[in-house]
Amino acid sequence: MQVPSSTTAVSAPGKVLLAGGYLVLDRQYTGLVFGLSARINVIAQEIRTSQGVQLSEIIVESPQFLEAQWRYGYHLAHGNGGIKLTQLQVGTSQINANPFVETTLAYALTYIIAAAHLKPSHAFAPARLTVLADNDYYSQPHSATSTPSSPPSSSSHHRFAKFPTKLKDAHKTGLGSSAALVTALTAALLTHYLPRAAFDLATDAGRRVLHDLAQAAHCAAQGKVGSGFDVAAAVYGSCAYRRFSPSVLAGLPEAGAPGFAPALAGCVGSDAWDTEVVKVTKTAAGATTEVRMPPGVALRMCDVDCGSQTVGMVKQVLKWREADAAASRALWDELQARNEALGAVLSSSSGDRKTEIAPAVAAVRELVRRMGAASGVPIEPESQAALLDALRDNVEGVHEGVVPGAGGFDALALLVRDDEATEVRIKEFLARWSREKGGSVRLLDVKGETEGVRREGLEQYEGWIA
């Protein structure tokens, strides 16, 4: 495939918060988060123009969906406000805003000119950024053509399917697409526009800059300062995570406002970030273990395709915690201890603790159900609990499972024997369950993996980039 040498591709993984839902909102506690093999990919290419023609335009497109292209003009805002974006109309269609894309562009481009002390005219050649998401991020069936030129016979097995819907109407599976998008888009922009001496994704310093910048952009795009575990997983992969203090971003002006550029440049990489991302832990005996699945055990995800109102659930749990401080504190402390015990079982390097997985997960589930009952929030709904119990008790090779993250009806995470026979048994069981109980539950292709953001070779995107 012939592509320009200036073309850059990066990807960031999705996430699953296996243990630490709700607790991860508080810096006193941690979450056990795993990266996933489902990735958001971003390919950055320079837009070639005719000699003498100058453009100040950046195009972001998601060709898997209908009408998913966003064009932006950009200029330098007054008063050190950084880069200000203006969304441009695409053809005759109405302007379709995408706050995650627009905010990420504003933050990344502002950081580039502020950190490198460049003027926009010197820093940014016009660029096209193509976003490709692995199929498991979305529940709905895809269309008969999975690439622009592929035959229908290969449609359902292609990594990047075409979906017969607009992006805003797609049914997500809850794997953290917005955090992976912001992280991958930020990484692609930094890699594309900055020399490797100024930003290198493969270094600790580069990932630190990416983490801080992506966290800031993601919080701004979603309109609140979240715990950030999803962005941390997108950058670093599987880890034990302790959130940053919300005060880190408290003094940051809005993008484009006076003083935004120097404030952002001073914030990213500063000592104020108190995030803790632990990928390797020490045992009591002094040995080191990586945060990962034991040998022969896979983390698999089931799509339930119902969806939950996560924001409302979080508010209700925090309201209960405030109203019953002593009881909730005791429960959270015990749940933290059980979460850490589960992490120790999973991180066993020899894999000789597999028989401890089921009781360790069951102990966590017990307290999660108790928290749900006390707060009036369906963190592990009865229907999900019944399905998890049935899988554990009736399907050989299934150790246990949880309703991850904030809980509800989005997805299930299973810890299973890592072999094809177990996968077949799970799929057959879920097909029967769906027929008998109604609804649709299916095993996703995605698996847990430890690696975070990375640069990618271009050959896998043939047919999607010019």
φ, ψ at 148 (rounded to 5°): -55, -25
- Is the pLDDT at 53 greater than 50, yes or no? no
Average pLDDT on 136-159 reads: 53
Question: Cα(58)–Cα(87) distance, rounded to whole angstroms?
Answer: 10
Burial of 431 (C-beta count, 10 Å sphere; 0-12/13-18/19+): middle
- Measured in whole angstroms, the distance separating CA 107 from the mean position of its chain's CA atoms is 18
Start-to-end CA distance of the chain, whole Å, equals 9
Q: What count of other Cβ atoms lies within 10 Å of the Cβ of residue 31? A: 27
- Can you read off the two tokens belonging to residue 291? 């945060």
Which distant-in-sequence residues (6+ apart) come within 8 Å of 423 by Cβ?
Answer: 300, 416, 443
pLDDT band at residue 188 using 50, 70 and 90 as cut-offs: very high
Question: Cα(391)–Cα(413) distance, rounded to whole angstroms?
Answer: 11
- Measured in whole angstroms, the distance separating CA 245 from the mean position of its chain's CA atoms is 20
- Cα torsion 263, 267, 272, 275: sign: positive
φ, ψ at 242 (rounded to 5°): -115, 125
pLDDT band at residue 439 using 50, 70 and 90 as cut-offs: confident
DSSP 222-257: HTS----HHHHHHHH-SEEEEPPPGGGGTTPPPTTS
Question: Cα(128)–Cα(120) distance, rounded to whole angstroms?
Answer: 16
Most confident of the following: 164-178, 273-287, 381-395: 381-395
Asked if 14 and 226 touch (Cβ cutoff 8 Å), the reply is no
Which distant-in-sequence residues (6+ apart) come within 8 Å of 200 by Cβ?
Answer: 206
206-235 per-residue burial string, b: 16 or more CB within 10 A, e: under 16: bbbbbbbbbbbbbbbbbeebbbbbbbbbbb
The string of pLDDT tens digits covering residues 191-241 is 999 999 999 999 999 999 999 999 999 999 999 999 999 999 999 999 999
Q: Shortest CA distance to 136 belongs to which of 362, 312, 301?
A: 301
pTM for the full predicted model? 0.92
Identify the residue with better confidence: 81 or 94: 81
- Cα torsion 190, 195, 197, 200: sign: positive
Query: Token match 């888009």: residue?
Result: 185
DSSP 74-107: EEEPTTT--EEEEEEP-TTSPP---HHHHHHHHH
Question: Cα(335)–Cα(341) distance, rounded to whole angstroms?
Answer: 10
The string of pLDDT tens digits covering residues 281-300 is 655 555 556 788 999 999 99
The string of pLDDT tens digits covering residues 112-147 is 998 877 666 556 888 999 999 999 998 865 444 444
SS3 1: coil
Above pLDDT 90, what percent of the chain? 73
Question: Cα(120)–Cα(74) distance, rounded to whole angstroms?
Answer: 9
- DSSP strands (E only) in 89-218: 127-133
The string of pLDDT tens digits covering residues 235-265 is 999 999 999 999 999 989 999 999 999 999 9
Asked if 275 and 232 touch (Cβ cutoff 8 Å), the reply is yes
Identify the residue with better confidence: 88 or 54: 88
Q: What count of other Cβ atoms lies within 10 Å of the Cβ of residue 287? A: 9
Burial of 118 (C-beta count, 10 Å sphere; 0-12/13-18/19+): middle
Q: What count of other Cβ atoms lies within 10 Å of the Cβ of residue 335? A: 23
Domains (range + CATH), the chain: 8-279+451-461 (3.30.230.10), 293-449 (3.30.70.890)
